């Protein structure tokens, strides 16, 4: 009796003529993500990915990794059995012995994908259920509210028996949605935004703004650690760290204080866009949520977007902070985000920022700045860090 992982495709099954391309990317992602845990055979048929371990492979670790691969709706550990009803009954009793021994009630569900199999699904359920009741006399059948559900799948290759399926990461495979550059801070929001875009198949490049000596190396390390956590889902990426203190000092010295934040954000967009173009990205991503702070009003966002030529995606724009925090906890970034290392966005915060700036006023306020010289200086001193996902 061989144990494997069965992973069910999610949104990919809704794709049309290009579905095969999505499936190929998904299989490549799974192979890459489980390779560290030994040799596996990974193949797809009938909207299901079969992850079969070879000698020396760690199925437990592979399962934990597959839980974070975008494109998978649910997955389960299952035993592979011959397509023989007697073998299925005996295999179910042996493989699920612990769960059935602990349960008071149960039911059997069956999916017969191989229509050549001589027994229909109701017959399989009845025969397997009767056999299990003989083996576990204390079990009672309860089809409405069972304590445990035995699932039987009769497929082209073999029959499979398993218990409850685990929820997968959902979404579509990373690498099918193009490339984008995410502006990553050390806060709660931007890592969640990065995760959400990766879930839509986007391959990420990260841009972090550092302001030494006003911010510490720990703040930059915190951003890298957050990306490693996101990378458990999104895969490897590159972080470009932009030295930003000089830009902020020039804005503070030459521009009205009330426009400091929106002008700073505009320079961030320009600097990030230059990196994004160089990396072949088609969009920028930020963690902004409408109305959360002074720079995230409709008017301020419009002024910020006017500085960029490529689209700016804000996946959190309509989310409540409580919901963002809940998602950060779920994906494992929250505890890192609340570490007390401030990022450059908290440096030189104005006392009374303009919350509804007009673009014309912002452009006039920027006139004393030599934007090209400042951006060229930033570009000349960018640091590159390769981010490998946490193992």
pLDDT along the chain (391 residues), means of 10: 94 92 96 95 94 95 96 97 96 97 96 93 96 95 96 94 95 97 94 98 97 90 96 96 96 94 96 97 96 87 96 96 96 93 78 89 96 96 93 67
Q: How far is CA 183 from CA 110, 190, 205, 266, in A?
A: 47, 7, 9, 12
Please report the pLDDT score of residue 326 as a whole number. Answer: 97
Name, in order, each residue with C-beta under 8 angstroms of 346's C-beta and a sequence gap of 6 or more: none
Please report the pLDDT score of residue 391 as a whole number. Answer: 67
Please report the pLDDT score of residue 353 as a whole number. Answer: 84
Q: How far is CA 1 from CA 33, 141, 305, in A?
A: 25, 26, 58
Interatomic CA distance for residues 183 and 173, integer angstroms: 22
Interatomic CA distance for residues 235 and 197, integer angstroms: 12
Please report the pLDDT score of residue 352 as a whole number. Answer: 82
Please report the pLDDT score of residue 223 as a whole number. Answer: 95
């Amino acid at each position: 009796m061989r144990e494997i992982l069965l992973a069910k495709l999610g949104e990919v099954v809704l794709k049309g003529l290009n579905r095969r391309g999505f499936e190929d990317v998904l299989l490549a992602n799974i192979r890459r993500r489980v390779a560290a845990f030994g040799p596996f055979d990974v193949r797809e048929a009938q909207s299901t990915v079969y992850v079969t371990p070879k000698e020396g492979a760690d199925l437990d670790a592979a399962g934990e990794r597959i839980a974070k691969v975008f494109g998978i709706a649910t997955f389960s550990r299952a035993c592979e059995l011959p397509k023989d009803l007697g073998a299925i009954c005996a295999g179910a009793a042996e493989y699920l012995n612990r769960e059935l021994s602990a349960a008071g009630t149960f039911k059997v569900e069956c999916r017969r994908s191989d229509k050549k199999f001589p027994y229909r699904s109701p017959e399989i359920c009845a025969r397997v259920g009767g056999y299990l009741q003989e083996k576990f006399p204390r079990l009672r059948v309860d089809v409405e509210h069972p304590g445990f559900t035995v699932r039987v799948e009769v497929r082209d290759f073999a029959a499979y028996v398993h218990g409850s399926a685990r929820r997968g990461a959902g979404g579509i495979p990373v690498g099918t949605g193009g490339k984008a550059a995410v502006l990553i801070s050390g806060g709660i929001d931007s890592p969640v935004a990065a995760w959400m875009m990766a879930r839509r198949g986007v391959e990420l490049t990260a841009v972090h703004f550092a302001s030494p000596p006003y911010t510490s190396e720990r703040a930059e390390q915190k951003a890298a650690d957050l990306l490693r956590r996101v990378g458990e889902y999104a895969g490897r990426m590159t972080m470009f760290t932009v030295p930003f203190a000089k830009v902020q000092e020039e804005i503070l010295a030459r521009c009205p204080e009330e426009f400091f934040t929106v002008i700073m954000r505009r320079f961030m967009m320009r600097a990030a866009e230059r990196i994004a173009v160089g990396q072949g990205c088609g969009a920028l991503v930020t963690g902004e949520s409408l109305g959360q702070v002074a720079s995230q009003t409709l008017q301020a966002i419009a002024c910020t977007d006017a500085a960029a030529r490529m689209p700016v995606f804000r996946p959190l724009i309509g989310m409540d902070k409580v919901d963002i925090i809940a998602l950060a906890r779920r994906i494992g970034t929250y505890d890192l985000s609340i570490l007390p290392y401030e990022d450059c966005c908290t440096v030189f915060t104005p006392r009374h920022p303009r919350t509804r700036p007009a673009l014309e006023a912002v452009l006039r306020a920027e006139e004393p700045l030599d934007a090209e010289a400042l951006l060229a200086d930033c570009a000349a001193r960018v640091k590159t860090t390769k981010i490998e996902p946490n193992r």
